[in-house]
Amino acid sequence: MPELTSSQGWSYLQQSKLDRGSIFRSRPKISPAPLYKTYSGTSRYELPRPRNLQAPLFKALASRRSRRDYTGRIAIQELADLLWACQGITARVGKLGLRTAPSAGALYPLETYLLVLEAEGLPKGAYHFNCEEFSLELLQEGDFGKDMAGACINQQFLGQAGIDVCWSAVFRRSMSKYGHRGMRYILMDAGHACQNLLLAAEALRLAACPVGAFFDDEVNALFNLDGEEESAVYCASIGSRAD
Ligand SMILES: Cc1cc2nc3c(=O)[nH]c(=O)nc-3n(C[C@H](O)[C@H](O)[C@H](O)COP(=O)(O)O)c2cc1C
C-alpha cells in the first residue's frame, strides 16, 4: 500500500499515535487560548430558552437522513433548540460549563457560527453563537446563501436552507494540552457537535445535511476567521422539510 503510507494523512496518524512510551514524552510547546470567544460591540440577539422537549432518541436515530431539499425558513425557537443541542451548556463545574456534546479534556475547541438565510425574527447575516450567554452576535448583515453554496464547492442546497452552520476550531485550546494528537480530538469534537445537531433537527422534523466538502478559506472569509489560529472544520445546512 505505498500510496496510502506516503500520504500526509497517514503520516499524521503515525506521528500522533499514543503508546506506552510516547505518552510520557514531551509534547510540542503550544501556548493556550481562552476558552470562550465573545464579539463585543456587535448587535446581540438573545435566544429563547431551549424547550424541554421529550422527543424519542431512537426514533430520531432510525429516521435521520442527510436531507438536501428545503423550503427555507426556520423558527427562532427551532434555532435555539438546535444550538442548544449541539453546544448548549448543561452543567457547571466552577467556571467551566459542560456541554451537550463531549469534548476531549473539557477544552471545547469549537466555536459555532451560522449564516441566517431565512429565519423568523432575525436579520439575514453571519452570526457567532455565544454559548455562555445563549445569544447570537451579529458579525455582518447580508444575504450570504450564494457565497456559502459557492464556498461549499457549489453545493446549491446550502443556499436554499434556512440556516447554514459552521464549526470552527481554535486549535490552541486542545493542542496546547495534547500536542499533535489534539488535532484528532478537535475533529472528533466536531463530529459530536454535528451529530447532536442532526439528531435534534430530525427530532424537530427539520431537514439537515452535514457538509465536509468546502473551500476552507472561502468559508473562513464568511466569518472573518484567519484560517491559522482558527479555521472552519465542519458545516451543516438546516431548513424546513419539503416533504
Ligand atoms: C464528514 C462528512 C462530510 C459530508 N459532507 C457532505 C457534503 O459535503 N455534501 C453532502 O451533500 N453530503 C455530505 N455528507 C453526507 C453524506 O453524503 C451522507 O451522510 C451519506 O451519503 C449517508 O447518507 P445519510 O446521512 O442520509 O445516512 C457528509 C457526511 C459526513 C459524515
CATH code of the domain covering residue 87 = 3.40.109.10
Cell of 21: 512510551
The closest alpha carbon to 100, from 198, 168, 177, belongs to 198
The closest alpha carbon to 79, from 197, 219, 211, 235, belongs to 197
Amino acid identity of residue 63, one-letter, is: S
Cell of 68: 438536501
Domain assignment present for 217: yes
The pLDDT assigned to 196 comes to: 98
66 CA distance to ligand 1 middle (Å): 6
The pLDDT assigned to 20 comes to: 87
The pLDDT assigned to 1 comes to: 63
Ligand 1 binding pocket includes 213 (Cβ within 6 Å): yes
Domain assignment present for 132: yes
The pLDDT assigned to 22 comes to: 78
Q: Does the predicted model carry a pTM greater than 0.75?
A: yes
Cell of 88: 448548549
Domain assignment present for 11: no
The closest alpha carbon to 110, from 209, 37, 195, belongs to 37
Domain assignment present for 113: yes
The closest alpha carbon to 75, from 163, 11, 4, 155, belongs to 163
Q: Is 228 exposed, middle or buried (0-12, 13-18, 19+ CB in 10 A)?
A: exposed
Q: Cβ neighbours of residue 147 under 8 Å, at least 6 residues apart?
A: 218, 222
Number of domains present in the structure of the chain: 1
Domain assignment present for 133: yes
201 CA distance to ligand 1 middle (Å): 15
Domain assignment present for 142: yes
The residue segments making up the domain with residue 128 are 56-240
pLDDT less than 50: residues of the chain: none
Pocket test residue of 192, 209, 237 for ligand 1, highest count of atoms within 8 A of CB: 209
Give CA–CA dist 10/102, Å, rounded: 26
The closest alpha carbon to 239, from 150, 119, 65, belongs to 119
236 CA distance to ligand 1 middle (Å): 10
Using the structure block, give the residue that is written with the C-alpha cell 435555539. 80
